[in-house]
Amino acid sequence: MANTSNLLRLSVVVIGLNEEARLRSALQAVFDTCPAHCELEVFYVDSGSKDLSVAIAEAMPGVQVLRLQTQRPSAAKARNMGLAQARGDYVQLIDGDSVLQVGWLETAVQALEANSGIACAFGQCVEAFPEQSIYMRVCGLDWHIPAGDHRLCGGNAMWRREVIAAHGFFDEALQLGEEPDLCYRVRQQGHRIVCVDQPMVLHDLAMVTFKQYWKRGEATGKAYARVASRYWRLPEKMWLREVVRNFMEPLVWAVMLVLGSAIVGGVGGGLLALSAWLLLRAVKIARAVRKRSGGWLGACLYGLHCQFIRLPVVVGQVKGLLQR
């Protein structure tokens, strides 16, 4: 992208796989929300879609379509393909299931312009359809991040291109956990990862079954395990504490079950004691999120989710460690 004016150069890389139902909205939002003082280039990187995703992207003026040619596609590979072509000063990365919100690009650019120490700026990810399932409702609450400096970000974020290039982009050896891995490497050189308290994207999780919920938990566990096993010898020990805490949770459940059985009497008494303990913890969590959860019911459901999700996460951690 040749900069023929004084406009700030901004690149946007959208990645997707079989996103025909949502891709048009994701791409259109980029053009609709681009600041007037930015010279924009937009890439769509397709990871082997079998639907009409590529055709939709090719039909949109101003979108450069790239196709990932690999038997093992991943978000890291797709983002890197777009990043290799990008020529903007800043690059906004977007997943194909997400729609940029008005004002975000302007806000992110301002944050990066104001402080050269910030390598990455990200905002709030808001679940688009929390009413469609209990899983989308509780997982949507996971995405609220307090403003300020953080150790990592997700896939939707704006990066300073020269920084991300200097650190070798995303590690394509990682099928999962590529974002925290890059953030770790970037932070070791003194750069900052900053959350801005403003809506960044509407995200459509499209999770309506327990199987999808469990598989997402497993994927999270695999990411925890792979990143922690990579950095546990280094001073920060990225994600090691989280991995240990996740492994401890089922053990605590077992201890509570045994103690309850011994004190109350029988397995039924143990289950009753364990249930009461989990409910008390759920209420404690609910108090902290009630205002943004739509009431006590949603807050308590979230409290239960925060505990139950540890089970598929632990399964994922075990698989991640065994598959190293």
Q: pLDDT tens, 133-189? A: 999 999 989 888 999 999 999 999 999 999 999 999 999 999 889 999 999 999 999
User: Is the per-residue pLDDT at 117 higher than 80?
Assistant: yes
Residue 235 phi/psi, 5° resolution?
Answer: -55, -45
Q: Could you tell me the two tokens for 80?
A: 């890197």
Compute the distance between CA of residue 194 and CA of residue 142 in angstroms, rounded to an integer: 18
The answer to whether residue 2 scores a pLDDT higher than 60 is no
The model's pTM is 0.89
Is residue 125 scored above 80 in pLDDT?
yes
| pLDDT mean across residues, the chain | 92
Tokens of 306: 């925060």
Task: Kindly report which listed range (4-13, 188-197, 206-215, 223-232) carries the lowest average pLDDT score.
Answer: 4-13
Gap between the Cα atoms of 85 and 83, Å rounded = 5
* Pairwise CA distance, residues 303 & 99, whole Å: 28
| Nearest C-alpha neighbor of 293 from the set 137, 164, 178, 62 | 137
pLDDT at 146: 92
Which residue would you say has higher pLDDT here, 191 or 143? 191
Q: What's 8-207's CATH class?
A: alpha beta
- Residue 4: is its pLDDT beyond 80? no
> Exposed, middle or buried, 304 (CB in 10 Å: 0-12/13-18/19+)?
middle
User: Can you give the residue ranges of every domain in the chain?
Assistant: 8-207, 240-322
